[in-house]
A and B are shown apart, each in its own frame.
Chain A
Amino acid sequence: MSSHGITRADLHNVHLPRRRRVNRVMELLAWLAATIAVAALIIVVWSVAKRGAPALNLDLLTKTPVQFALGPVKQGLANAFAGSLVLVLLATVMTVPVGILIAVYLTEYAAPSIRAAVSLALDVLNGVPAIVIAIFVFGLFVVGHGQSGWAGSFALACLMLPLVARSTMEVLLLVPVSLREASLALGVPRWRTTLSIVLPQTLGGIVTGTVLAVARVAGETAPLLFTSSIVGTQVSWSPTHALQSIPVAIYELSESADPADHARAWAAATVLLVFILCTSLAARWLATRGRRRLSTSR
């Protein structure tokens, strides 16, 4: 009997009760797998929220950490919140124009062989582990110059670029060819067709892709470890120095032995989770809305 494929014996009615039982068992196993996956999510989110919520207060946002605190001192992670904001903002500003341009080049201009080569490069970049990106930026910018917010945001940008380029490319391919042809037939030059006819159609998709990429890199720790992690406790907005960030702060606090540090780690993790879940949901909502609009316009 072959390992898969349906044999005559399989279909023979004599075995029907047994076949039904096997079917039932397999269905139960699939239900079980789905239950386990959902349970894993609920357990993780619930344990973070349960421990993080009581530790959430305004001090977390407004106060800075205190080194070598003797006794209970009010401290927060203001420097990490400020740093994360700067790092992610800079990375987004670096990535979005380049990502869009790459997508435009690949869908509107590139010859098939070049398109294949650049797509491969994007795939490879997407597959490079974040910690290797950290080493790369360490070698490129940090050796000899020291850590800085610029280096950290460049490392984040390397992770964002393939995501933004890929999602923009997908929506560009959805724009009907007839729209381009109509514009070209009216005598509009190709570059204007691309910039003022094709790209505006994809705005929703680009925003969705960018929001998803922001949600992804806002929680990334590894790229910042070697590029923007050795920091002071003061709030700093200048990317010329190393900036603290939420993920790195959680990473450091999680390895501490002090329960008060753990409480702050849980609180920061709760903030991070809420941010990421909200942005992902917003992106999902934007995507369904955009898709509906694009399909009705056709």
Chain B
Amino acid sequence: MSAVPAPRLTARRFRAGDAALQLVAGAAALAACVVVALIVWKVVDGSLPSIHAYGIRFVWRVAWNPVLGHELYGAGSFLFGTAVTSLVALLIAAPLAIGVALFLTELAPRFLRGAVTALVETLAAIPSVVIGLWGILVLGPVLRDDVEPALHTALGFIPLFGPASASGSSVFTAIVVLTIMILPIVSSISRELFLGVPRELREGALALGTTRWEMVRGVVLPYARGGIAAAMILGLGRAIGEAIAVSQVMGGVVGIHWSLFSGGDTLGSKIAESYQGGTTKLQVASLIYLGLILLVFSLLMNVAAQWIVRRVARRQGVGTKRGALG
């Protein structure tokens, strides 16, 4: 007679189904949070023996001696290696990446734009172990035989450019490899930022008679400044956390050497190299302590990038509102 079902009955059934889906989905979301908490807990827990033995001084001590009876561990040289490789790689990659992004948004002819965008994104998809394989067997020997001697003869008076490495494994090789790895990350974020610059601003500048570069310098870059900083931080985070490719090309040397052509190690690569297992409990705990330092860095980078993005979003939100009123 009537197609309308009894309201109370259906209402109850609806609620049961909703509650079930909400519960299951909520549990999944909770699981993600639990995994993050577990990561922090497990890494801290695993490094406790080393924290008890060495305390905070572990962070800057330059030592890694696994000989029984004389055991002494410290993260100093790995921290140094991480800082040098990732910062120099960012220094090279950032201008390149911004150049690529500007090319793609401002200059590229239509037929090149799609192809180059796809190619640069493909570069990001190459696994680090393959780049590392190329780095150790192809790039390393080329740098050792041709590039490093040339740089040493030309600029050898600067301690950075010491004698060429014997094996082709060096800080320099690691820097080149990391540059290739973070270039596509920074450039694809920058490209999206540049695409988001309002058309009126570009056209306004060009209508004032600026050249294309003056438009970029005066409008595009200032508009995207905060976002570029966040992109660079993300790239830096990637470089700091990279373990595999770096461990393949860096040669595993403890100590602080100022020459770019000597071997070295980073936090991540030291951990990766030791995958066959540590000999003592203290050594394993010290390796996990290195991981803890890495984790703290990655959390800081994340927070910094988020903070910048949020600040920029707020500022630009205010800006557009004012524009709409005016």
Q: Is the CB of B32 within 8 A of A102?
A: yes
Cα of A33 to Cα of B237 in the assembled complex, Å: 22
Task: For the complex of A and B, list the 4 residue pairs with the smallest distance between their C-beta atoms, beginning with the closest.
Answer: A219-B127, A33-B99, A129-B241, A105-B25
- The answer to whether A33 touches B138 (Cβ under 8 A) is no
- Among B213, B241, B294, B302, the residue within 8 A (CB) of A26 is B213
Which of these binds chain A: B63-71, B202-210, B254-262, B311-319? B202-210
Whether A127 lies near B302 (C-beta < 8 A) is: yes
Q: Are B107 and A29 in contact (CB under 8 A)?
A: no
B214/A6 in contact, CB under 8 A: yes
- A294–chain B nearest beta-carbon distance, Å: 20
B103, A254: Cβ atoms closer than 8 Å: no
A254 shortest CB reach to chain B, Å: 5
Which of these, B18, B116, B275, B306, contacts A226 with CB under 8 Å?
B275
Cα(A82)–Cα(B63), bound, Å = 41
The answer to the question of B145 belonging to the interface, with a C-beta cut-off of 8 Å to chain A, is: no
Number of A-B contacts (CB under 8 A): 277
Q: Do A30 and B103 touch (CB < 8 A)?
A: yes
Question: Is A129 in contact with B298, judged by CB distance below 8 angstroms?
Answer: yes
Residue pairs across A and B with Cβ atoms less than 8 A apart, 9 shown, are: A11-B210, A34-B116, A48-B130, A97-B28, A105-B28, A121-B36, A125-B32, A191-B18, A250-B130
Main secondary structure of the interface of A (DSSP, over half): helix
Question: What is the 8 Å Cβ interface bit string for chain B, positions 125-156, against chain A (1 contact, 0 not)?
Answer: 11111111110111000000000000000000
Tell me the residues in window 29-75 of chain B with beta carbons closer than 8 Å to chain A beta carbons: 29, 31-33, 35-36, 38-39, 42-43, 45-46
Tell me the smallest distance from the CB of B61 to a CB of chain A, in Å.
Answer: 20
- If A26-B213, A272-B130 touch, whether A254 touches B123 (CB-CB below 8 Å) is no
Given that A19-B211, A30-B103, A222-B243 are contacting pairs, would A192 and B126 also be in contact in the complex, using a CB cutoff of 8 Å?
no
Number of interface residues of A (CB under 8 A): 95
Contact with B along A181-216 (1 / 0, CB 8 A): 000000101111011000000000000000000011
* Interface of chain B residues 207 through 263 with chain A (CB within 8 A): 208-214, 216-218, 221-222, 237, 240-244, 248
User: A14 vs B249: C-alpha distance in the bound complex, in angstroms?
Assistant: 53
Interface check B268, CB cutoff 8 A: yes
Contact of B100 among A19, A37, A273 (CB under 8 A): A37
B268 and A129 contacting across the interface, CB-CB below 8 Å: yes
Q: Contact between A36 and B42 (Cβ–Cβ < 8 Å)?
A: no
* Distance to closest chain B CB from A159 (angstroms): 11
Could you tell me if A26 and B288 are in contact, using CB atoms closer than 8 angstroms? no
A 16-50 contacts with B by CB, 8 A: 19-20, 22-23, 26-27, 29-34, 36-38, 40-41, 44-45, 47-48
Assuming A30-B103, A230-B277, what are 15 further A-B pairs, CB within 8 angstroms?
Answer: A37-B183, A101-B27, A101-B28, A118-B33, A122-B32, A129-B295, A130-B243, A135-B42, A189-B18, A191-B14, A195-B21, A215-B125, A219-B128, A221-B129, A266-B133
In the bound complex, do residue A251 and residue B129 qualify as a contact, i.e. CB atoms below 8 Å apart? yes
- CB-based contact A254/B132 at 8 Å: yes
Q: How far is the CB of A296 from chain B (nearest CB, A)?
A: 21
Q: A134 CB to closest chain B CB, in angstroms?
A: 8
Question: How far apart sit A121 and B37, CA to CA, in the bound complex (Å)?
Answer: 9
Evaluate contact between B268 and A4: CB separation under 8 angstroms.
no
A219's contact among B13, B130, B243, by CB below 8 Å, is which?
A: B130
Q: Closest CB of chain B to A1's CB: distance in Å? A: 12
Q: Is the CB of A276 within 8 A of B126?
A: yes
A11 touching B107 by the CB < 8 A rule?
no
Does B95 belong to the interface (CB within 8 Å)?
yes
- The answer to whether B302 and A124 touch across the interface, beta carbons within 8 angstroms, is yes
- The answer for the CA separation of A165 and B28 in the assembled complex, in Å, is 10
Set of chain B residues within 8 Å of A284, measured between Cβ atoms? 118
Residue in A97, A118, A273, A276 whose CB lies within 8 Å of B32: A118
